[in-house]
Structure 1
């Protein structure tokens, strides 16, 4: 997603259905993966806005026909780049 989606704009999402579907699916996967983490792991990393990550996934999945492409574009441009190093640090701290 990093290589392809960061230049995403609301206009691009509105005009390109395949891009919109792909970006939304990637956000859903991030949220679902976060939801599958143990409560203990999430509590050990309060720096990650777990409720927002999981909540965004739930909103996209359950309210698909009312997706706000401006919010999706903001998530891709601002929030995912901020989330990436946090997630990488968590992954690096886990035992193999």
Structure 2
């Protein structure tokens, strides 16, 4: 039986940064109309948002409380919604999240990393 390395907070923070980067790469120069009509990109972005939500769930409150401008509960809850509501996903909300929420989240995560490394 192999031992799995216990994940550290920094691993989860890096997961978030990687997923943000992936989303930007997936979307590229797409318009919202392009996005909602591209099933592969939709699925890739949704998966990356799920990873962000799952990773955020593993960041301790003692750290997230220092970043009150980030909607941590919403990030985690969108992961749950995306993972469990396959037929009720509002692509306008997904698109809006990619356009408005990733930049401030990235700034916060990079700051967190700089304070704990």
Q: Structure 2: how far apart are the matches of 1:31 and 1:12?
A: 25
Q: Is the aligned partner of 1:40 residue 2:43?
A: no
1:27 Cα deviation from its structure 2 partner: 0.6
Q: Structure 2: how far apart are the matches of 1:75 and 1:59?
A: 14
Q: Is the aligned partner of 1:94 residue 2:112?
A: no
Mean Cα displacement is larger for which, 67-76 or 81-90?
Answer: 81-90
More helix as a share of residues? 1
- Kindly indicate whether the alpha-carbon contact (under 8 Å) linking 1:9 and 1:70 is maintained by their aligned counterparts in 2: no
In the superposition, relative to structure 1, how do residues 6 and 88 fare at CA in structure 2: closer, same or farther (>3 Å)? farther
1:47 Cα deviation from its structure 2 partner: 3.0
Q: Is the aligned partner of 1:74 residue 2:96?
A: yes
Q: Is the aligned partner of 1:13 residue 2:35?
A: yes
> Aligned residues, how many?
95
- Kindly indicate whether the alpha-carbon contact (under 8 Å) linking 2:27 and 2:35 is maintained by their aligned counterparts in 1: no
Structure 2 length normalisation: TM-score?
0.71
Q: Structure 2: how far apart are the matches of 1:6 and 1:77?
A: 11
Unaligned runs of 5+ in 2: 1-22
Unaligned runs of 5+ in 1: none
Structure 1 length normalisation: TM-score?
0.84
